[in-house]
Homo-oligomer: A and B are copies of this chain.
């Protein structure tokens, strides 16, 4: 997508095998890129959320594994690098999926060929992600089109956290249908949950929607319920960091509260996700490990000072404890539908298997 008219992706290969990424910790006030040259650079970028969003974490991890093999591409090194990368963010299932895909692509090659092959595979993962997001957008667009139909009226869509192009390589998952609707001339307006504690909505979603010219309004995470009670939300679309085989959706903490409000007010609630975020090994969302992050993300808020610098302020009294769990699980019963690159399905085992019949166990 574009920033000030210039097309961007969230990461792209640079010279001599390095990978360049947008440093998302600096948005929305500064657009800065960062070069990843080593495994450690990539692991650090994922852990500190230079890059974030399930699909982008997967793509960065794939490149991280490739970078690890530049000087030593032994089996032991692959094992060691995978372990380091897997430990960076425990909840996002794409991370393990992307590592596995690179490993499969290079397992039978001579160590001398592995670095180049891993780089190529990471590049293929990125291209596939862009295509998947484009397809998710096309399928989601049809839902928005139906909502707009009665009188070509404005469609109000609420989203939580950032599942836009900044969370992917391009397009986004939850935001892809919105970009396509906007580009197709459908009048869309987005309610952007600020998404504490890290404010990915206020800083990233608002930024990328603004850069593309999509009308939007930032709201605190507390407001969505009232807006739904008042009929000012036509649909909710969120992304997912991990989705179980039965359709439970693990996403940024607070998503579950919006799903409850959507159900209570008959507002359709969709999760948009590529197949790589589906964890076919898990049925029940309660079994998903929820990442606990630093309490300082709760006690401190980062933003731009009156002097124009980016700084943090403490918002909690000294001596008060804080707890920071990053995700929650929305049970399938609250999800109206799942939008994937293959189409829209019911949030259930049967629904997902209809789209991915190759996952049916033969009995």
Contact = CB atoms under 8 A, between A and B. Distances in A.
Nearest to A197: B220
Interface string A296-319: 001111111110000111111101
For A216, A305, A323, the residue with the greatest tally of chain B CB atoms inside 10 Å of its CB is: A323
Interface residues of A, number: 63
A321 to B, nearest CB: 5
Nearest to A329: B229
A13 interface: no
A112 interface: no
Interface stretch (A55-63, A163-171, A256-264, A347-355): A256-264
Nearest to A203: B315
Nearest to A307: B311
A279 interface: no
Contact of A218 (B304, B322, B328): B322
A8 interface: no
B206 A229 contact: no
Contacts of A217: 320-323
A305 B207 CA distance: 25
A226 B285 CA distance: 12
Could you tell me the dominant secondary structure of chain A's interface residues? mixed
Interface in A314-339: 314-317, 319-325, 327-329
B260 A320 contact: no
A94 interface: no
Contacts of A264: 260
A361 to B, nearest CB: 29
A17 interface: no
A195 interface: yes
Contact of A303 (B202, B210, B314): B314
A221 interface: yes
A303 B207 CA distance: 23
Nearest to A192: B320
A261 B256 contact: yes
Contacts of A286: 229
A140 interface: no
26 contacts: A194-B315, A197-B220, A202-B317, A207-B320, A209-B320, A210-B317, A210-B320, A217-B320, A217-B322, A218-B299, A218-B321, A220-B254, A220-B298, A221-B221, A226-B253, A226-B328, A229-B328, A257-B257, A257-B258, A257-B260, A301-B301, A301-B303, A301-B313, A302-B315, A303-B314, A305-B305
